[in-house]
Structure 1
Amino acid sequence: MNNEAERTYEIMEVCLLAGKIMLQSGGETYRVEDTMMRMAASFGIEKSHSYVTPTGIIFSAEGSEPTKTKLIRISERSTDLEKVAIVNSISRKISSGDLNSREAMKQLKEIEAKDLSFPFRMQVAAASLASGCFMIMFKGEWNDFLPSMIAGGAGYLSFVYFHRFVPIKFFSEFLAAFVIGLLSLLFVIIGVGHQLDKIIIGSVMPLVPGLLVTNAIRDLMAGHLVSGLSKGAEAFLTAFAIGAGIAVILKFL
């Protein structure tokens, strides 16, 4: 009886760790729940239930013993879809019988500890290039390409560094948008930039919560109303922070 209980707890730990990694890396709520229950079923727990919100995961397993339930808190969320794909791959291996619970736990812990994101310099360079390209896409002029690149790269750099000192996303996004607006205005004043609106629009695009909006809509369509509304509210706050940062600068015009 004790061995069965220990095995059930071990399986629950594997499922919870997989769900935690996916949720922290930008996975959709319904995908996290489905993956956890499929993994539990593959390990022999036919009746399992998972309830996922952006800030926590509740998972329970039914068996011969009384139902066991565990809760974990999610405090940090980012975007790392490579980790989501790797966890999905591990789930498929479990379903096919190629991994046992201990091997799966070992691989999941390795994934959790790894930083699979691109080098920071590359992220800033990508944000700069994307800003310039978005500016052109919104029918801006080519002579504003370089100012948009500089403002977008500086804004993304500011967002990362501000978030390290003030771990509140709203203030980091507000200050990053403020930097973008300030630089864009300076470029126009000194004559380097010409279309202030196009430069600002292109530069703030790397800060726009596109994945968050997409996941919120997908969760709402899948029936996960709490998670969908929570992510939608987070996306709204991000958009408000960006708009407020730009509005402060435009107030001085």
Structure 2
Amino acid sequence: MNKEILNPEEHPFLAEHPDIAQMNPHERLAEQSGVVLRFGRLLLSAGASSYRVKSSMARMARAVGIEEHRASVSFSDIATSAYANGTFRTELYENRVFGVNANRIDKLKQLSHELRVDQSVEELNQRLDEIENEGPLYGPVANALASGIACAGFCFLNQGGFVECGAVLFAATMGQALRRLVLHRHFNHFAVWLLCGILASSLYIGVVEMLELVGLTTADIHQAGIISAILFLIPGFPMVTAILDLVRMDFPSTLTRTSYVVAVMASAGVAVWAVTYAFGWNVHMMLPYHLPWPLLITLRFLCSFIAAWGFAILFNTPWKVCAVAATIGASVNTLRTIAVDSGFPWHAAVGLAAFTIGLLAAAVAARTYYSRVSLSVPAVVIMIPGVPFYQAVTNMNNGLVLEAMSHVVQVLFVITAIGFGLAVARMVTDTRWIVDQPTSRVPELNPSRHYIR
């Protein structure tokens, strides 16, 4: 191993840090590469896309003095190679945290844009300590209620009535409470989605059957609402980031994220089928309601707002970002429903709505440290067709193959429209997406060695 000491005359920054100057190149590169990998690890475990992880690590690598940095990122792994001072270092990291933390993504984005050349590893590690040690923004009660309220709003948008929305509110609240409890104990995600799907759908059936026993309603006309009770299990964040990674032709990340999305949604779908089969329920489309047009549009706006707000809270988004994302989502989604009612093709309306949301999110992100994904995902997740997907699983298990395939096609078209709408908006507003170039290529950083806290 090369034991040559770094020369302060060749590296002026080292003259101010004699302890660092006494390190050999391998030791110093180990520290530099370590803090860069830690930065990427925090982003990946918070749910960031592969592009954001790689580009942010490249910025930090330049800030700490690494001459060249290469990274391969999937949903579950990071592999990096760093070159500096005539030597190199390769490191691997296995990600086992598949959650979403929009607040952490925003904080790390802010740090990425505040990076300056010749920053010390020590001060950056201290900043990362502050971000990593920050706990959830919302407690378990607020988190669970946000899930229930969001799914109740989603239920109305899916033609649900008062009984369905009320039962969904209770069932989804308890389901999310269980999910948070077991995920914090590091349970397997597929088992978690299965257990929470069984609990939420069972509670929905229990509420509706109880209302029938006391003579307040007839259970048969509310059976389809059970699917809205588990819509909090839709993995909206990895679904959107998988499509964005696909547009960037980052296939390892796309495949791993898509596999995760399909697996956990299948687990929830099997849970619904098992419960409905055990209780003899028939999941069919709910009958459309007939309300005065002004009242209908107002309720659609309000339900879209609370659904987007609730999902934003589940993503651990600060309340100001929740408000912006919910306003964007409610406004655009309401216009989308009006267009569909007027005969505009459903999938085209979803694509245009996602494109508009992407533009609005980009406009807000350009003036703040909020990330586009924190603003756009809660706004578009209310358009993800969770109901057709779970109906497809139910129909498949019941042997209704043609009906199942019909629902699968609907789901694929809508998800594709959402993803490509956001991707085109990103291309329009970011030249790094319209011109293909390595993510390791970053603009020059500010030469000042002082960064903004």
**TM class, shorter-length:** over 0.9
Q: Deviations over 1:54-83 (max 9, x none)?
A: 222111111333321111221122100111
The answer to whether the Cα contact below 8 Å between 2:64 and 2:119 also exists between their aligned partners in 1 is no
Q: What residue is the counterpart of 1:109 in the other structure?
A: 129
Q: Which moved more, 1:242-251 or 1:71-80?
A: 71-80
- Partner of 2:87, secondary structure, is coil
CA contact (8 A) 2:76 2:256 kept: no
State yes or no: 1:181 paired with 2:208. no
Amino acid at match of 1:138: N
Larger radius of gyration: 2
Aligned length: 251
Unpaired segments of 5 or more residues in structure 1?
none
Residues 1:226 and 2:246 are matched in the alignment? no
Percent identity reads: 21
CA distance in 1 between counterparts of 2:181 and 2:60 reads: 38
Q: 1:149 aligns with which of 169, 172, 194?
A: 169
- Aligned match of 1:37: 58
Any conservation in 1 of the 2:58–2:69 contact (CA below 8 Å)? yes
Check the 8 A contact 1:80/1:117 in 2, yes or no.
no
Q: Is the 8 A contact 2:43 2:104 kept in 1?
A: yes
Asked if 1:248 corresponds to 2:274, the answer is yes
Matched with 1:55 is 76
Quote the RMSD (CA, aligned, Å): 1.9
- 2:34 matched to which residue of 1? 13
* Contact map agreement 1:5 1:65 (CA 8 A) in 2: no
Query: In the aligned structure 1, how far is the partner of 2:122 from the partner of 2:50?
Result: 25
| Cα shift at 1:99 | 4.7
Question: Which residues of 2 match residues 35-184 of structure 1 at below 5 A?
Answer: 35-94=56-115, 96-97=116-117, 99-163=119-183, 167-184=187-204
- What SS does the aligned partner of 1:68 have? strand
Looking at structure 2, the residues matched to 182 and 229 of structure 1 have their Cα atoms a distance apart, in angstroms, of 33
* Aligned-partner SS, 1:67: strand
User: How does the TM-score come out when normalised to structure 2?
Assistant: 0.53
Matched, 1:208 2:228: no
1:75 is paired with a residue of what secondary structure?
coil
Distance 2:68 2:185 in 1: 44
TM-score by length of 1: 0.92
Give the C-alpha shift of residue 250 in structure 1: 1.2
After superposition, the C-alpha distances for 1:75-125 in whole angstroms (9 at most, x for unaligned) are 12210011111112112222x349532111111022222213411111001
CA contact (8 A) 2:63 2:119 kept: no
Flag the 1:169–1:47 CA change in 2: closer, same or farther, 3 A. Answer: same
CA contact (8 A) 1:151 1:180 kept: yes
Question: Contact 1:133 / 1:202 at 8 angstroms: preserved in 2?
Answer: no
Q: Deviation string for 1:111-151 (max 9, x for gaps)?
A: 22221341111100101111111111111112332211001
1:161 Cα deviation from its structure 2 partner: 3.1
Unaligned runs of 5+ in 2: 6-22, 281-453
Question: Quick one: which of 265, 268, 285 aligns to 1:239?
Answer: 265
Q: Could you tell me how far apart the structure 2 residues matched to 1:7 and 1:88 are? A: 25
From 219, 224, 234, the counterpart of 1:197: 224
